[in-house]
Amino acid sequence: METVKRTIGVNIDPDGEFNALIWAPNAGRVSLRVCAGRIDLPMQKQDYGYWALKTDQLKDGDLYRIVLDDDKFLPDPSSLSQPKGVHEASQVIDLNAFAWTDEHWKNWHLNEYIIYELHTGTFTPEGTFEAIEGKLDYLKNLGITAIEIMPVAQFAGERNWGYDGVYPFAVQSSYGGPKALQHLVNTCHQKGIAVVLDVVYNHIGPEGNYFSEYGPYFTDKYNTPWGNAINFDDAWCDAVRQYYIENALMWFRDFHIDALRLDAVHAIKDFSPQHILAEIKEHVDHLIKETGRPHHLIIECDLNDTRYINPLDKAGFGMDAQWIDEFHHALRVTAGGERDGYYEDFHGIEHLAKTYNDAYVYDGQYSAHRHKNFGVKATDNPGNQFIVFSQNHDQIGNRMLGERSSQLFSFEMQKLMAAATLIAPFIPMLFMGEEWGEPNPFQYFVSHTDPELAEAVRKGRKAEFAAFHAEGEAPDPMDEQTFIQSKLQWQLKDKGQHQTMFAYYKKLIKLRQYLPVIHNLNRNQVKADADKDKQMLTLQRWYQGDYLVALMNFSNTVQQTTLPHTDKKWIKQLDSADPEWGGPKESPNSFLSEAIIELQPQAVIIYCIG
């Protein structure tokens, strides 16, 4: 395997000379136009559809375009910066110019990850990378060890979730661009916080998408929800595969990103002998060997297929961890959430117990929603391969009104759901603002400049909610107010119940970090039992002589139960019903074995052996 470096696009050599490499197999002539002075630099044809240029007529910050056949003046598909938007000229960026000071930083092991998902544009009033830096001490105080940034690849306009990006290598200019992202990562590392970046390798957004002008980046062999699939296994696919391999490597090597979260990999269509994910993994492993810096690959996958997370030497794709939406779905149905749409497959507390025990809810049985048997067992996959949450951008934003849990569930139930997530034998993830019960929604927003595309998005959003909502209108994604009302209200976190909720989350995270029995993610030391009639779940975990039991009452009435037998005393670690956390009644601090315990409605009590 060759030395790891970026080869495509415009790059600078250590000697100060610029190299350009463009893939345009259908073009008869290709040149690079330096916008200042309108200088056209002819490129030389290479093998496999590439065109190359070595020049000293470029400098850091220059604007340029790629000219195909003398009449198509286009942005560079491998552009590192689009300061004037998706339709305008690309910008030369020297990624090696940043002065890193994180040489002593070492990425956390996945066991140590407590992830905080955020959207750059709505996390702060300013909506920039620089503004995120101002909140890092707050996140450190909360106990967060990793932030996960929703996609930053350049998209049309200034408002977007990020999944409509059209320049996978370019960092969104309205957030601050590539140098500001490097600065943010460097600052995170100085404060002991890892950075996960969400990337999209399953499709490319619509506006500003000039890829087909260059070559067969897409194939009509397969369809995806966003149109023709990216060409990972059809004719000319080698260059497309190299494009995405280099993208993953760039984030790790040049931006010092600690982990990538790969969006919806089930929508990646690839029947090559080696799946593109496995090839990315091989190259990332090579980079790790060269640099000594560990990196993680995390996927969103809707297939309950362990091939994705099994190691390469066991015929897997080698991904390190995956999101499991099924934990979220089972938890929300147990908490009293709706049962329509994809929630129809989830039977509440029994399925919540199953996901604690088995990770996947569906691991081979019949799925009514899919009308088929679904999933495989994940018996041999450790807890640190699964990321769980009670909220995330999809599960909030894909509701018609974008309501958070704070608007759908009681204060007591929110605390119970938080504990259910943070004491799970998996990696926990919070969505920005949930730790203080942020009431503002997180809605879907875009800022397309194409009127027809904007109208298509409006109609698409309305159609998407047919299975979920019988009445009402979806907020207009193009309206700036939809974006503004999705911003966090930081002034609330120190007020009333919001302040109480924040202190409660902080306590839960501290317990997870300092109690080995929670911190350990050995799935063989977990047992969850559900009482459907009482709507109670008992979660037991043990580790090297330590023992924990969490009693969860999802019902609206007081319930009684007993603790497992032991010759030692049970000591209370947390009681969500304690008035300290705004609850109705405190439970005793300790119990002897088999004593009767009274649980308040919608409450959780955590005991450990003392």
List, as residue ranges, the binding site: 261-266, 325-329, 393-398
> In terms of DSSP H, where are the helices of 423-569?
451-464, 480-484, 496-514, 516-519
Of 187, 83, 199, nearest to 134 (Cα)? 187
Structure tokens, 290: 């060269």
Q: Distance between CA 538 and CA 265 in Å, rounded?
A: 34
CB 26 within 8 A of CB 53: no
Which candidate in 76, 300, 345, 363 is catalytic? 300
Reported in sequence order, the residue ranges of 1-62 that DSSP labels E, i.e. its strands, are: 9-12, 18-23, 30-34, 39-42, 44-45, 50-55
Question: Rounded to 5 degrees, what angle do the CA atoms 370, 375, 378 make?
Answer: 155
3-state secondary structure 331-366: HHHHCCCCCCHHHHHCCCHHHHHHHHHHCCCCCCCE
User: CA-to-CA distance for 605 and 255, rounded, in angstroms?
Assistant: 42
Round to whole Å and give the CA distance between 465 and 454. 18
Phi and psi at residue 153, in whole multiples of 5°?
A: -60, 140
User: Which letter does DSSP use for residue 524 in this model?
Assistant: G
Q: Which two tokens stand for residue 296?
A: 């993680």
CA distance 565 to 252: 49
Selected catalytic residue, list 254, 258, 263, 279: 263
Q: Please check whether residue 199 is in contact with residue 263, taking contact to mean a CB–CB distance below 8 angstroms.
A: yes
Beta bridge partners of 23: 50
Residue with tokens 């690959």, as numbered in its chain: 297
**C-alpha–C-alpha distance, residues 386 and 508, integer Å:** 19
Nearest to 50 by CA among 16, 83, 27: 27
From 158, 13, 11, 133, select the one nearest 82 (Cα to Cα): 158
Residue 338: count other Cβ atoms within 10 Å of its Cβ. Answer: 13
> Using CA atoms, how far apart are residues 321 and 199, in angstroms rounded to an integer?
15
- Residue pair 151/198 in contact (Cβ under 8 Å)? The answer is yes
Left if phi > 0, otherwise alpha if psi is -120 to 50, otherwise beta: which for 272? beta
Spatial separation of the C-alpha atoms in residues 471 and 487, rounded to whole Å: 25
Cα maximum dimension of the chain: 84
**208 torsion bin: left (phi>0), alpha (psi -120 to 50), beta (else):** left
Say which residue the tokens 């041999």 belong to: 380
CA angle in degrees (0–180, nearest 5) for 263-398-501: 95
In degrees and rounded to multiples of 5, residue 209 shows phi and psi of -85, 100
In the annotation, is 263 catalytic? yes
Distance separating alpha carbons of residues 376 and 152, to the nearest angstrom: 33
Residue ranges for the binding site for substrate? Answer: 261-266, 325-329, 393-398
Q: What does the radius of gyration of the chain's CA atoms come to, in whole angstroms?
A: 25
Helix/strand/coil for 425: coil
Catalytic residues: 263, 300
